[in-house]
Chain A
Amino acid sequence: MRWCCLRPPLLAALAALVLPAAVARADASRPIVPGFERFHTGDKADARGGQLLLTELSCVSCHQPADASLPRKQAPILDNVAGRVRLGHLKKFLADPQSVKPGTTMPNLLADDPDRAAKVEALVHFLASTGTPKQERPDTKAVVSGRDLYHKVGCAACHGARDADGQPGKNLPADTVPLGDIPAKYTLPSLTAFLDNPLAVRPSGRMPHVVGGKEAKDVASYLLQGIKVDLPSGRGSTTFAYYEGQWDKLPDFDKLKPSASGTGPAFDLGAARRGNDFALKFEGVFKAEKEGNYRFGLTSDDGSRLLIDGKPVVNNDGVHATATASGAALLTKGVHKVAVLFFQVGGEIVLDVQVEGPALGQQPLAALVAATPEALEAKPAPPKKPADQDSLEVRPDLAEKGKALFATLGCAACHQLNGPDRKPIASALKAPALAALKGEGGCLADRPAKGLPAYSLGAAQRSALAAAVKAPPPLSKEPAAVIARTMTTFNCYACHVRDKVGGPTEETNKLFQTTQPEMGDEGRVPPPLDGVGAKLTLDYVKQLLDRGAHDRPYMHTRMPGFGLANLGTLPEALAADTLPAAPPVKFAVHDAKVKATGRFLVGAQAQSCFKCHTFAGQKAEGVQGIDMTLMTRRLRRDWFQAYLLNPQKVRPGTRMPAAWPDGKTFYPDLLDGKTPTQIEAIWVYLQDGPAAQRPAGLGKQYIPLVPDKNAIIYRNFIEGAGTRAIGVGYPEKLNLAFDANELRLALLWKGAFIDAARHWTDRGEGYQPPLGDDVLKLPAGASFAILAKSDAAWPTAAPKEQGWKFNGYRLTPDDRPTFQYALGDLKVEDFANPTTDKEPALRRTLKLTAGKATDNLYFRAAVGAKIEGAKDGWYLIDGWKMKIEGGTPIIRQAGGKSELLVPVTFKDGKAEIVQEFVW
C-alpha cells in the first residue's frame, strides 16, 4: 500500500516503457546498463535514459557535470588487480573490451591506435606488478551447491539463469548483466574474495553483496567449474552416465536413458547437473596386480552399489545419511571391470570408494582405475604449467611506461590505483565539461577519433546520451523521483515493483522460489516497495540497504547489500511514505501486565501467531512467517497497528488473517477492551526481541500413549511398519506394529508404546519410531507364499500384488486385535498376545482356513543372518529366539540369508501355527 501519492510524470513514463525484455539487437556489444535496457530503449531520444548512461558509463568521470548531485559511479579499484584477474584476460580485455566481454561498460581506449599492442603490453606489465592470483580447483560439491545458490539467492535476477556448466542460459532478456568469460578472468580464490566483498573492488554498489564465506566460494565454484583442469588421460578416470529422476533406491539403470555421459575424473560427482534427484553410473577397469581377496569400501549419501565384473560386491543402497558398507571379492590377477552406481535424493552428497587387497594398503580406488584398459596403461601426462598467457616476468621499463599510459589514456579518470607513492594515480586526460558538449561527435561519433573512449554504443544509447547532453533533465529531489532514479540505477526493479513499475518479468518470474509454496507469490517474489518507507523504520531501511538481509525464511531470494553511501538520499526519500499516525496508546496498568497481555494474545489460548510465524528462531507449525521477535526492530509502530487492524487493506491477498475482524476485539475483558490497545500490548511485548518470554503453546509436545487396562491401537505412519501401520500397545508393556500394506508383523518392542506428538501436533508429517526399547525388526515381504518346491525362491512381489487383501480386525473386550487377511478364499486370523509366564514373550497364533488351492503353502517365520535349531521347538535367530508350534519348520539358505519356513498342513480345512517371540 502506498499512502503518499507523489507521482511525477517520470514514473508514468517509466511505466509506459516496460518492454518485453528479450529483444535481440544488432548492436550486441553495446554496454549493458540494465535500467536503460529495461526502461529507456524506446524509439524516442530519452534524456532520462541518457542521464542514467552518463553516470553508469562514467561519462561524468571525465566530463564535469554542472549539477554536482549527479551521482558518479566508481569503476573497479585496480589496486591488486593482478592478484584477482588473470593477466591473459587483462591483456585481451584491454586490447578490445567489447569483444572479450560483450556488454561491458568499459570503453575501448585504444580502438584505432596503431601502437595498440605495445601500449597494451606496457599496461599489462604495469598492472601485473600489483600481484598474482592464487590457484585452486573448484570442488564438485561446491559446484552443485553454488548452482543452487546462484539461482535462488538473487544472482540470477540480474545476471540471468545459467546452465549446469555455469554458462549463460539461452534467450536471456536484453537487460541481463553479462558476466563475460569468468574462468578466463578469475581464479577460484580471487572470485571467491570478490563475491565475499564486492564493494571492496567495486565500491559503487552496482554489484551488491549477496553471499559471503563458504557460499561465496560455492557460487564462485559453480561459475568457474569450466576451468579446464586436465582430465586424467590415464589412471584416475572413469566413464560416467548421468540420469535425472526421483527414486528411493538405486534405479534399474538399463531401463533409463542418461541425460549426459562422458569420461571424467573417477567417481567424480561433479558430473551431476543438480543437487538432488539424480543418479550416476561410473564404469572403468581396475588391474589386480596379484590374485587374492580384495575388499572394497563404499561410503555414500544417498545410496550406492559397487560391482566387479558385473557382480554386486558392496551394497549401500537406500536413502540414508553418510554411511559406509563394504564387501569383498576374490579377483584373479589381471584387469577387471568396475562399476559404481550412485543416486541422490536431497541433502548431503557423498561418494567415496576405497580398496584394499594383497600388497595393496587401503586407499581410494579412484587413483587406480581408468576408463579403458588402454588408459590404464598410459603414462600419466606431466603436470601442465599454468597457461603461459597468465604468467609474466614484469619488465620494469614497460611497467613504467604502462603507468604513464594509465594516467594519459584516461584509465585513471575512472579507475583508482595507488602508485608506488601510495597515492592514486591522477588522470592526465583533459575533457570538456559536460555542459560544454554539443551532444554529437566526440565519444558519441559512430567511430570515435583516436584517443577518445569507444563505448560501442547502440543507437538508442547514442540518441539518449545526445538528448541528455543537449537538454539535461532536471534532477528532481522529490522523493518519488529520487526513488525511481535510484531503483533504476541499482536495478532494484529486477526484483521489486513500486508504483506499478518494475518487478520480475514473465521470463524472470520463475527464478524466484520459496520454501513454502503454499504462501503463493507472497512467499516467493520479493515484496512490492509501495509504502515501504511507512512500513520499515529509517534505521532498518538503512541497515537493509547497506548490508542486505534475509529476514524472510520462506523466500530464497535475499536482499543484497548495496553500501549505504552509494544510495544517496534513498532512505530519506522512502521515509516520505507515510501512514496515518496511530494515536498513542496509554496503558492503565504497569508494563509487566501489558507484556503479559501481549504474550497471551500471541499465545495458544488466543491468536496462536506462532503457528505461522517463527518465534525467536522456533519454527512455526505450517508456513514460516517472519520471526516475530524481529518485528519491532524492523517495523514502524503505525504500520504494525494498521496491518494488524486490517491485513488485507495493507497487503491485498496476504495470507495473514484479520485477528480483529472489522476492527472489533473478541477479548473485551483484556486491558481496556479496545483493539489499538491490544495491538499495542503485542507491540510492547515484542519489543523484548528474542529475549521475550515464550508464548504459551510454543514448541513440541510429548504425547506418550500409555496402555492401562486395555490395549491401545495406533494407526499411523510408523517407522519400519509402513504407511498403513497398526501399532498395538499392550498393558503388559510389550508392543507390536502390524504392517497392513504387507500383512506382516513388522516390529516388536518392549516398554513404552509410542509418542503420538509427531502426528497429533502440527500437521503430522512423517514416520514415528517406537518409544520403547529392544525393538525387534522383522523382515519385510510376504509372510505366506505358495512355493512349487521347498527350495523355490521366496516371492519378492508385494503381498497385495499377489492378491492378498487386508480385511481389518476384531477387538477383544479389552481392545486386543485379531488381524484378518485373505488370499482369495484362504483366510488368516492373526492374534498376538504378550505372555509373562517366565520371560516377557509375545505369543502369536495364526489360524488359517484353507481355500481351494492352498497346497504347498509356506509360512516364513523368520529371516536372519544365521538361524539354528535348538531343543523343544526353539530356534536361535541372530541373538533372539523363537518357538514354533503346529508345523515342522525347515531352515534354508537363500540370497545369503537363512530362512525359517513352516509348511502349512491343513486338517479338515484348518491349520494353526503358533509363534513365540523372545527377544
Chain B
Amino acid sequence: MTRIARYCFVVLFLAGPAFAQGKKPAKPDTEDDYYKLLRFELPPGKVLEAGAIEIMPDGKVAVGTRRGEIWMIDNAYADDPTQAKFSRFAHGLHEVLGLAQKDGWLYVVHRPDVTRIKDSDGDGKADVFEVVSDDWEINGDYHEYAFGSRFDKDGNIWITLCLTGSFNSNSKFRGWAGKVTPDGKFVPVASGVRSPGGVGFDAEGNVFYTDNQGPWNGACGLKQIVVGGFCGHPDSFKWYKEKEAQYLGPPPLVPKSGSRIMTEAKRIPQYVPPSILFPYGKMGQSASGLDCDLSGGKFGPFPKQLFVADQTHSTVMRVSLEKVHGRYQGACYPFRQGFASGNVPVRFGKDGSLFVGGTSRGWGSRGNKSFAVERLVWTGKVPFEVHEMKAKPDGFELTFTRPVDPATAGKAESYTMKTFTYIFRADYGSPEVDATTPKITKVAVGKDNKSVRLWVDGLQEGHIHDLALAGVRSADGQPLLHPEAYYTLNYIPEK
C-alpha cells in the first residue's frame, strides 16, 4: 500500500440504497451514463481488503487481500453483480499486493516473497505454496510493502519495494524496483522508489509504477522503470554495493534538495523524471494500481491508454503518454469517481471491463466502505472528452472523442492555461511553485473537427500545464464531461 493518503476522511459516494437505486439524474450527462459502476456483494462477515486482482484463464477473477487471503469470483462478468459467487482459494499470506497467473500456477507477490500456489487435488483450495524468490528484506515495519505486476513478455514479474516507514531504506533493496526472472532470481533494476501503489505495463510493454507524494515526491507520479534508472528518492543508494546490483555500477549523484525535477534530471543521467505528475488534491492524493486498455475498444474510446487508480479520492484517472526526447511524458485526465472504497488494484477483465478493488484501512478514502470489489463497464455511449493532449514545440495538440463545435473549440477564450511545478526535495511533499500563465496565441480546429491545435506563448519546461477547456462544446452543443487536462511537460519537443 502506499503512504496512501495521509489525511483521512472517507466520504463521497455512497453506498446507500437511495443512491444506488437513484432518483433520476439531475443532469443527463454524468460519468454514470458512459461507465457503469457495478458493486459485488461480498460474502457476509468476510473482509476482502483488495490489494491485487488477476484474471484467471478459467473465467474466474482472483482477488488477493491485505489480510492474506485469495478469493475467486465465479460468474464475475454477469450483468447482475449479485450473481457472482465468491470462494476462498487460499489464506495465510502476508498482504497480497500482486497476482499473476501462468501455467496453472497463481504467483503471489506479498510482503516476504513471491510464492506460487496451486490447487493440486482439485478441491478448490490451494495446497502447494512454493517460494519463488525472497531476495529482499523486511524488518517489521508496516510500510515495507511489495507490489507486483503480471508477467512481462519475457516471463518476468516486476516488483516495487516500498521504503521503510516510507522515508528510509533500512532493509535490503527497500526503495528498489526489480524483476523476478523465470528461474526465480530477483534482479534489482532501478533505485529511488519511495512509496509505490502499483506496477504494470503500457501497450508496448514498458514498465511503469505509481509513486506517492512524500519526500522527493512533490505530488504523486507515474514513473517508468528502466534498467539502471533512478526514480528520485536517494536513500536506496546504499544497496548498489550488493552483489545483485553491482552490474549497475556506482550509485547516481544524490539529488540536491530544494531543486527542481528537470534541473536534477539534467545533472543526474540515471534520473528518470516522472512521466506524469498527478496534481495533488486536484487529480488525486494517493496514486495506486494501473492497467492498460488492450481491449481493442471494448472499454470505449481510449484504447492503449493507461488507467490509474487513486486511493484517497476513490477514483480512476486516465493517462495518455508519448515519447519526447527519448522519455515518456504525457497528460492525465479525470475519468471516473465514486468508487466505494480506497482504490488500489485495477485490472481489465476478459470482456474489457475494469475490475477495481479497494481498501481504506490505515489511509482513509472518499469512498466510505472499508473495502470493496467493483467492476466498471462501458455503456457503449461515447463521452465527449479530450482524447489526448500532445506536446508540440510551440503548444499542444488536442484530440477529442467526438467532433467539436468549431466555433467554440476554435476560440482562444474557450481555453485557459496555467503552469506550475513542485519543489524536488527531501521534505515531505511540496507546494505548487513557479506558477506562470502562458498565453494561448492561436487556435485552429482540425479538418475532421476532432482535433484542435493550440499555439502557446510561454511553454515551461519541467512544469505541469494545467489546461481548462470550459468553453469548448461538442458539435451537438455539449460541454466536455471533464473539461480539464494536466500535461507534465518535462521536455518540449524540438521543431
Interface residues of A (CB under 8 A from B): 516-521, 523-524, 604-609, 611-613, 620-623, 625, 648, 652-661, 666-669, 712-717, 723-724, 726, 740, 756, 760-767, 805-813, 815
Contact = CB atoms under 8 A, between A and B. Distances in A.
Contacts of A623: 6-8
Contacts of A621: 8, 361-362
Residue of B112, B125, B141, B167 most packed against chain A (CB within 10 A)? B112
Contacts of B125: 811
B3 interface: yes
Residue of B8, B68, B143 most packed against chain A (CB within 10 A)? B8
A811 B128 CA distance: 6
A516 B8 CA distance: 14
B5 interface: yes
16 contacts: A516-B6, A518-B166, A519-B428, A606-B10, A608-B360, A653-B281, A653-B432, A655-B8, A657-B312, A660-B11, A666-B11, A712-B91, A715-B94, A715-B112, A808-B115, A811-B129
Contacts of A811: 125-129
B130 A520 contact: no
Closest 3 A/B residue pairs (Cβ): A713-B92, A655-B7, A612-B8
B78 interface: no
Given A806-B131, A811-B129, A520 B429 contact: yes
Contacts of A812: 127
Contacts of B166: 518
Contacts of A740: 112
B16 interface: yes
Contacts of A809: 129
A444 B113 CA distance: 76
A606 B431 contact: no
Nearest to A648: B281
A805 B184 CA distance: 12
A664 to B, nearest CB: 9
B18 A668 contact: yes
B96 to A, nearest CB: 10
B435 to A, nearest CB: 12
Contact of B431 (A612, A653, A766, A810): A653
Given A608-B368, A723-B112, A760-B67, A668 B8 contact: no
B8 A763 contact: no
A290 B431 CA distance: 71
A805 B131 CA distance: 9
B7 A612 contact: yes
A627 to B, nearest CB: 15
Contact of A612 (B92, B129, B364, B430): B364
Contact of B428 (A521, A620, A717, A723): A521
Contacts of B167: 517
Given A608-B368, A813-B123, A764 B7 contact: no
B428 A518 contact: yes
A707 B141 CA distance: 27
A715 B68 CA distance: 8
Given A517-B167, A653-B281, A811-B129, A761 B361 contact: yes
A659 B366 CA distance: 7
A431 B100 CA distance: 89
Interface of B: 1, 3, 5-14, 16, 18-19, 47, 66-68, 91-95, 110, 112-113, 115, 121, 123, 125-131, 134, 137-143, 166-167, 214-215, 280-281, 285, 312-313, 337, 360-364, 366, 368, 370, 427-432
B142 A764 contact: yes
Given A612-B6, A666-B12, A805-B131, 18 more contacts: A518-B166, A519-B7, A606-B368, A607-B9, A611-B9, A611-B362, A611-B364, A653-B280, A656-B9, A661-B12, A666-B11, A666-B19, A712-B91, A714-B92, A726-B92, A761-B361, A763-B362, A810-B128
Contacts of A806: 113, 131, 134
Contacts of B127: 810-813
B129 A810 contact: yes
Contacts of B67: 756, 760
A715 B11 contact: no
Contacts of B215: 517
Contacts of A724: 112-113, 134, 138
Given A656-B7, A726-B92, A607 B128 contact: no
Contacts of B121: 813
Contacts of B143: 763
B323 to A, nearest CB: 32
A762 B280 contact: no
A750 B110 CA distance: 29
Contact of B141 (A521, A765, A813): A765
Contacts of A660: 11
Contact of B16 (A620, A667, A761, A766): A667
A806 B92 CA distance: 16
B364 A715 contact: no
Given A623-B7, A659-B9, A667 B431 contact: no
B131 A622 contact: no
A612 B342 CA distance: 15
Contacts of B366: 657-659, 661
Given A518-B166, A648-B281, A716-B94, A653 B129 contact: no
A609 B364 CA distance: 8
Contacts of B428: 517-521, 523
A653 B429 contact: yes
Contact of B129 (A516, A523, A657, A808): A808
A90 B353 CA distance: 83
A607 B11 contact: yes
Residue of A523, A713, A716, A765 most packed against chain B (CB within 10 A)? A716
B431 A609 contact: no
Contacts of A613: 8
A141 B430 CA distance: 37
Contact of A657 (B11, B126, B214, B370): B11
Given A648-B281, A669-B16, A713-B92, A520 B11 contact: no
A805 B130 CA distance: 11
B164 to A, nearest CB: 12
Given A726-B92, A763-B362, A609 B14 contact: no
Given A648-B281, A713-B91, A761-B361, A521 B429 contact: yes
A605 B11 CA distance: 9
B142 A763 contact: yes
Nearest to B167: A517
Contacts of A805: 131
A741 to B, nearest CB: 9
Nearest to A612: B8
Given A609-B8, A765-B142, A767-B140, A657 B131 contact: no
A620 B139 CA distance: 24
A518 B6 contact: yes
B410 to A, nearest CB: 29
A225 B472 CA distance: 70
B9 A612 contact: yes
Contacts of A519: 6-7, 428
A622 B1 CA distance: 13
A625 B131 contact: no
A717 B9 contact: no
Nearest to A625: B7
Nearest to B18: A669
A906 to B, nearest CB: 25
A609 B9 contact: yes
Residue of A609, A657, A726, A760 most packed against chain B (CB within 10 A)? A657
A550 B104 CA distance: 59
A621 B10 CA distance: 13
A557 to B, nearest CB: 16
A763 B361 contact: yes
Given A518-B6, A607-B368, A712 B361 contact: no
Contacts of A764: 66, 95, 142, 362
Contacts of B113: 724, 806
Nearest to A623: B6
